[in-house]
């Protein structure tokens, strides 16, 4: 009788141990939610007018990709409902240890000290867009990678950039004699963006 009771207890303990391990495995394999927001403002220089767009991006609308040359972060809300997109490129030689850190945008004013190149796209109709490159315009700001987990490949951070004194991107598709000038402010954040290899 004692042997039967002992065997029963051993079976119960084994079952509970396996159940706990399985539960632990399932809880550690759950991926955290991926989130990103992006905001764009046109601040017109000749008036107090401001034109703003705010986006909540889905997983398919953003990318964090690494290859032999660079780390690239894409924020590209789906067309045609949205009209803005951003691409950050950081050369492998300019990456900080573990990716974590602040990367100043490289532009005409700080070509030697900047670490991140930026391209901003504005779609002014369904098939055409304008592009502003940090290499050819004056920009101030940075992208910050606040956290990166090498095991899961997940990164979180934020960005804020101002593109200064440029032609109103909404006027590129029309023939205006004197298009308005504006400053463009771009800011946003991203959480649990998964790093992929190109």
Output the pLDDT for position 36: 93
Output the pLDDT for position 172: 66
Nearest to residue 140, comparing CAs of 187, 188, 83?
187
> Among 24-38, 83-97, 141-155, where is mean pLDDT lowest?
24-38
Give the Cα separation of 78 and 57 in Å (integer): 9
Does this model's pTM top 0.85?
no
Output the pLDDT for position 23: 47
Element containing residue 39 per DSSP (H, E): strand 35-44
Element containing residue 134 per DSSP (H, E): none
What tens digit of pLDDT does each residue of 60-70 get? 899 999 999 99
**Which pLDDT band, with edges at 50, 70 and 90, does 109 fall under?**
confident
Give 47's contacts (C-beta < 8 A, 6+ positions apart). none
**Which pLDDT band, with edges at 50, 70 and 90, does 173 fall under?**
low
Model confidence at 82: pLDDT above 70 = yes
Distances in Å between the Cα of 172 and the Cα atoms of 75, 96, 156, 163, 177 are 22, 37, 34, 16, 11
- And the tokens for 173? 């598709």
Cβ–Cβ under 8 Å, residues 122 and 169: yes
**Which pLDDT band, with edges at 50, 70 and 90, does 13 fall under?**
very low
Half-sphere exposure of 133 (CA within 13 A, CB side): 4
Nearest to residue 157, comparing CAs of 186, 193, 129?
193
Model confidence at 18: pLDDT above 90 = no
Model confidence at 103: pLDDT above 70 = yes
Element containing residue 176 per DSSP (H, E): none
Q: What are phi and psi of 137, to 5 degrees?
A: -135, 165
> Among 121-135, 155-169, 184-198, where is mean pLDDT lowest?
121-135
- And the tokens for 50? 């401001």
Summarize the confidence of residues 5-11 as an average pLDDT.
47
């Amino acid at each position: 009788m004692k042997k039967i009771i002992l065997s029963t207890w051993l079976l119960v303990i084994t079952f509970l141990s396996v159940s706990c391990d399985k539960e632990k495995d399932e809880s550690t394999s759950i991926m955290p939610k991926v989130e990103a927001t992006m905001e764009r403002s046109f601040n017109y220089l000749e008036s107090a007018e401001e034109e703003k767009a705010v986006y909540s991006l889905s997983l398919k609308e953003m990318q964090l990709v690494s290859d032999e040359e660079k780390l690239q972060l894409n924020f590209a809300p789906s067309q045609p409902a949205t009209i803005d997109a951003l691409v950050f490129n950081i050369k492998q030689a300019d990456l900080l240890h573990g990716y974590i850190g602040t990367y100043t945008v490289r532009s005409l004013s700080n070509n030697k000290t900047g670490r991140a190149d930026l391209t901003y796209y504005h779609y002014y109709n369904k098939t055409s867009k304008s592009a502003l490159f940090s290499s050819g315009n004056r920009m101030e700001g940075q992208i910050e990678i606040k956290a990166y987990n090498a095991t899961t490949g997940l990164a979180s951070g934020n960005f804020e950039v101002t593109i200064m004194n440029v032609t109103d991107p909404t006027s590129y598709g029309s023939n205006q004699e004197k298009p308005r000038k504006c400053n463009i402010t771009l800011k946003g954040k991203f959480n649990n963006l998964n790093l992929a290899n190109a």
